[in-house]
Amino acid sequence: MPDLFSVTALTMKGKEIMKRFFLFCGIALCGMALSNSALAQKFDGLALTPPMGWNSWNKFGCDVDERMIREIAEAMVASGMRDAGYRYLVIDDCWEGKRDSLGFIHPDPQRFPSGMKALGDFIHSQGLKFGIHSCAGDKTCAGREGARGHEYQDAIAYASWGIDYLKYDWCSTEGLNAVGAYTTMRNALRAAGRPIVFSLCEWGDNKPWEWAKDVGHLWRTTGDITNCFDCEVNHGTWSSWGVMKIVEMRKGIRAFAGPDHWNDPDMLEVGNGMAPGEDRAHFSLWCLMAAPLIAGNDVRAMDKGTAEILFNREVIAIDQDSLGFQGYRHSADDSLEVWVKPLVKDNWAVCFLNRSAKNRSLDFDWTKNTIADEFSDRKIDPEGKQYALRDLWGKRNLGTTRRPLRAEVASHDVLLLMLTKR
Ligand code: GLA
């Protein structure tokens, strides 16, 4: 008689099912108890600088499967992307399949036949971290299984698959309270016991910057980005937004961001079809804003120009500065803007952005343009101190703040400078 039908095997199988059931009940009960106690808190210290990684949505939408994800992981390593700091590989919407009779979620069996644990093991073997998407509602934005009512169970599944990062969406949530829904998932993740970066994605509708510091590590501030410099793409009931539209969307929220709790203006569109100058401007502004740097291009087919933007370590260092101050627009003269960010050691990043359709010439006298930031209590004081200037895209030194800066800034492009105190 085959072993499967022997009494011992049946008993073993029964025991295994009982074990899983009691484990689930135990963790769920423990989770409920924890959620009411002071222990229910986010995992601290997982995002002391803005998270960096890659996400499938901007380029591939619903078209995700395990073969493509494995290829992306390999390309992230081979291209040098991982070593430039991009650690999280996040599968966005559409990985989800059905729930089983106990309510546990499983991946789409056609697209992910080997299962999420095997995929996670592979991603980890590449020195990367594994991220996934879900939704606070019954359904995700693409109509797959959402987590509503299954939060503790889903958190257990994520922990067992080795998930390191959860992006948690906000579709199909009519009547739900955002603070409650996101706090429930935070508590569920905590109860499951695996440290997971928690990325809130409710588009800024409920002002998460005011309440999410203790709930998650980053929160979306706006609707979805799209791959254009300044357009709006109308989808009927909602719109997606070009880079400059996103930049204009939320004002006065920089004081809410800092280490372990970031404003997230959405993922990067670098390499997805904008002009090189526009990609540079987009990337520079995201670094100035201390935004999470989650690339969204096809890493397997990345051209040299895209790699030069995404992997520019001097620019990435602005984003990853350990003080974690979000930069801001210092001035706007017609369509020539000056963006600044205070950095460690009294250094600054200064970015001249040309939003117009024509090239603009720049004549910037540091002694006549005092740059002072009340929030960080810092000031560029060229009378008292000298700063060395370095053009981070041109990779050349440009003298000091002693002399006015004269330069040409191309249309839809930036001149990005690092100011190092001497
Ligand atoms: C929302 C999010 C996007 C993406 C899609 C997936 O629109 O804002 O970033 O996750 O859902 O359906």
Find the helix or strand (DSSP H, E) in which 25 lies. helix 7-35
pLDDT at 20: 53
pLDDT at 123: 99
pLDDT in tens, 37-62: 446 899 999 999 999 999 999 999 99
As a dihedral over the C-alpha atoms of residue 295, residue 263, residue 126, residue 154, rounded to 10 degrees, the angle is -110
Is the C-beta atom of 224 inside 6 A of ligand 1? yes
pLDDT in tens, 115-158: 999 999 999 999 999 999 999 999 999 999 999 999 999 999 99
pLDDT at 219: 98
State which ligand 1 atom lies nearest to the alpha carbon of 57: 4
CA of 135 from ligand 1 middle (Å) equals 9
Residue with tokens 């009494």: 7
CA of 169 from ligand 1 middle (Å) equals 7
Mean pLDDT for 92-114 is 98
Confidence of residue 382 (pLDDT cuts 50, 70, 90): confident
pLDDT at 9: 41
| CA 38 centroid distance within chain | 28
pLDDT at 15: 53
State which ligand 1 atom lies nearest to the alpha carbon of 92: 10
**Pairing relation of β-strands 88-91 and 105-107?**
unpaired
Find the helix or strand (DSSP H, E) in which 388 lies. strand 387-391
Picking from 168-177, 266-275, 382-391, which range would have the lowest pLDDT averaged per residue? 382-391
pLDDT at 7: 36
**Pairing relation of β-strands 371-373 and 387-391?**
unpaired
Residue with tokens 């602005």: 318
Residues 6+ apart with CB under 8 A from 231: 241, 242, 245
Instruction: List active site positions.
Output: 169, 224
According to DSSP, the residues that pair with 168 across neighbouring strands are 134, 200
Mean pLDDT for 263-283 is 98
Three-class secondary structure of residue 374 per DSSP: coil
Whole-model pTM: value is 0.92
Q: Which candidate, 141, 138, 161, 150, places its Cα nearest to that of 69?
A: 161
**How many angstroms separate the CA atoms of 47 and 44, rounded?**
8
CA of 415 from ligand 1 middle (Å) equals 32
State which ligand 1 atom lies nearest to the alpha carbon of 167: 10
pLDDT in tens, 347-381: 999 999 999 999 999 999 999 999 999 999 999 98
Three-class secondary structure of residue 420 per DSSP: strand
Radius of gyration of the chain (CA): 24
Q: Atom 6, ligand 1: which residue's CA is nearest?
A: 93
Q: Atom 8, ligand 1: which residue's CA is nearest?
A: 224
pLDDT in tens, 309-355: 999 999 999 999 999 999 999 999 989 999 999 999 999 999 999 99
Q: Atom 11, ligand 1: which residue's CA is nearest?
A: 141
Q: Atom 3, ligand 1: which residue's CA is nearest?
A: 224
Among 56, 90, 95, 141, which residue has the most ligand 1 atoms within 8 Å of its CB, making it the best to mutate?
Answer: 141
pLDDT at 24: 53
Confidence of residue 10 (pLDDT cuts 50, 70, 90): very low
pLDDT at 247: 98
Whether the per-residue pLDDT at 2 is higher than 60: the answer is: no
Is the C-beta atom of 93 inside 6 A of ligand 1? yes
Is the C-beta atom of 92 inside 6 A of ligand 1? yes
pLDDT at 37: 46
**How many angstroms separate the CA atoms of 351 and 285, rounded?**
8
The mean pLDDT value of the chain amounts to: 93
Q: Atom 12, ligand 1: which residue's CA is nearest?
A: 141
